[in-house]
Amino acid sequence: MVRPTQQLHPPREPAAVLPAATVLLLRDAPEGLEVLMTRRSAGASFAPGAYVFPGGRIEAADAAAHAVATRRPAQGDLQLTQSVAAVRECFEELGVLLARHPDGRPVDPGVVEAMDRSTTSAVALAAQCAARGLLLATDAVYTLAHWITDRDLPKRFDVPFLVARMPAGQTPVADEAEQFEPCWVRPADALARHQAGSFFMIFPTLRTLERLASYATVDAVLDACANRPGGEGPLWTSCPRAGLLRGKEARYMEHESPFGELALACPDGQIVHELGWQTEAPVALLKNLRRLTAPNPGAMTGPGTNSYIVGDAATGYIVIDPGPNDAAHLERLHRATGGDIRLIVCTHSHPDHSPGAAPLQALCAAGSKPPILGLPSAPTARPASHFAPERVLHDGERLLLQDGQGTTHTLRAVHTPGHAANHLCLVLEEDALLFSGDHVLNGSTTVVDPPDGNMDAYLDSLDRLDAICAEGGIRFILPAHGYVLGEARAAIARLKAHRLKREARIAAAMQRLPQGSLEDWLPLAYDDVPQRLWPVAARSLAAHVERIRQRAPL
């Protein structure tokens, strides 16, 4: 894990989370699935004025109402308590009661309207149900999602987002204290109204509606929750993180590309890290780690090539991937290090990574020229990718920066052929960080272009990186393009699964057209990719075909 001494910001303990529950009441309408939402009081302590789903805190007494609650065989005690809380809050806030008679008959709407909802607790609700021979229909409540409020907020909740079908015949009536203006709305319409500024919603509500919009009917939602692979549980779990995007707060879930970078730079959730891409000054990720992105954005480079500066003023610096021969970019690297560059390392020879090495070296003062390290390009490399380091960096070799006070920054080289024959990655051992070059990217998959690229070698190198991450407890990957990736092993596993899934599509295309060519197989295997990207995809297609043919039985 990252050394605490290298974190940029003093640690701050996030507020403790409070247990709560919310429920999405759903109904089928002529134009599609609708969900019931209400507007919170403008004076509410949490999300004032926002449109939300009914719900609230889980109380100790909610567990006591199990006696009048029904449950599915797979419904555990915690899930049942959460469902009781959601049903109670729904009745209290909207006068809607999920209940039935023991023989399965639904509760009469008139009976619900006559019940007292003014001072409802779980015990009081249970007593009212028992007096009327009713059972709470908690067996019809399913878990859709699990949200944990962002670490930066002063009031935080641990909330299951539950789903249930709206009881027939009942009409929601807001309590006019906590909730106002109950309305039925299609998820897509709610999102459009929020975008237009007339229907304010907070981040978890927005993201939940975005996913809910993909379902056509109530049955489809309930079936997805009831038949989740691996058993009952949320379809997704998230504790979002926030950063600054061009000076404004922006929040992200775990699957979104900036999430890992925010986890590295601000682990306790402080909103201080700027995510907007810029090339004028280095972005600090840790005290001993900065990233300067070259001004070469494009289809192949994303926001640009990341040059990394490892070290500090006392130890001097190692520059990883100086990038293209861009004078302004190299001058910024030189200025950011105060000229105290001890080593220049190129992860591979491609023209957006290594050409800046020699010009950067030339900027350094005479007598302190840093050596250029890496692996020489192979004969299979394209002419524009020729690279000859001053010193070969051997697999497993360690590069040390050290001051007189015992602070050390150690980079270990890892040979990872596949994207290029001379590709290598680097591990910052003291902070358990992996610099992945182009082998693992954030937001896209790397191109494997034969003959210098080799798909077998690429997949084997992924396996090796996974083993290194497991052994070293590496959680973060710093790619040559895109934001920092978190949960390193999961990222590697997703990348490998994607490659193998694509290979299966290519193999199917080859079987469909056994006498076909690469040009014939490309539209079949990459029909889910925009055609403008097919020329690039064709390179990896060739690498997969080469691997498939090598593995074909004789």
Whole-angstrom distance, CA of residue 105 vs CA of residue 132: 13
The position carrying tokens 């993180």 is 241
**Average pLDDT for 170-188:** 91
Is the model more confident about 44 or about 254?
A: 254
**Average pLDDT for 26-55:** 91
C-alpha R_g of the chain: 28
pLDDT at 176 over 90: no
Reported as a pLDDT band with limits 50, 70 and 90, residue 177 is confident
Report percent pLDDT > 90 for the chain: 89
**Average pLDDT for 395-414:** 95
Asked if 45 contacts 57 with a C-beta cutoff of 8 angstroms, the reply is: no
Using left for φ > 0, alpha for ψ between -120 and 50, and beta otherwise, residue 113 falls in alpha
What phi, psi does 128 have (nearest 5°)?
A: -65, -40
- Whether the bond between 451 and the residue before it is cis, its omega within 30 degrees of 0, is yes
Whole-angstrom distance, CA of residue 246 vs CA of residue 258: 14
The position carrying tokens 């939940």 is 208
Q: pLDDT tens digit string along 224-266?
A: 999 998 888 899 999 999 999 999 999 999 999 999 999 999 9
What residues contact residue 403 under an 8 Å CB cut-off, 6+ apart?
A: 312, 314, 315
Mean pLDDT of the chain: 94
Q: pLDDT tens digit string along 160-169?
A: 999 999 999 9
Report percent pLDDT > 70 for the chain: 99
Q: pLDDT tens digit string along 419-471?
A: 999 999 999 999 999 999 999 999 889 999 999 999 999 999 999 999 999 99
Amino acid at 8: L
Whole-angstrom distance, CA of residue 348 vs CA of residue 321: 8
277-490 carries CATH number 3.60.15.10: yes
Amino acid at 235: L
**Residue 554 confidence (pLDDT):** 44
**Average pLDDT for 5-13:** 93
- Per CATH, the homologous superfamily of domain 17-239 is Nucleoside Triphosphate Pyrophosphohydrolase (3.90.79.10)
Whole-angstrom distance, CA of residue 231 vs CA of residue 514: 41
Q: pLDDT tens digit string along 89-98?
A: 999 999 999 9
pLDDT at 296 over 50: yes
* Paired residues of 296 in beta bridges: none
* Paired residues of 345 in beta bridges: 320, 373
**Average pLDDT for 126-152:** 95
pLDDT at 124 over 80: yes
The pair of structure tokens assigned to 350 is 């491609």
pLDDT at 312 over 80: yes
Q: pLDDT tens digit string along 490-524?
A: 999 999 999 999 999 999 999 999 999 999 999 99
Domain spans of the chain, in order of start: 17-239, 240-276, 277-490, 500-551
pLDDT at 45 over 80: no
Whole-angstrom distance, CA of residue 278 vs CA of residue 442: 17
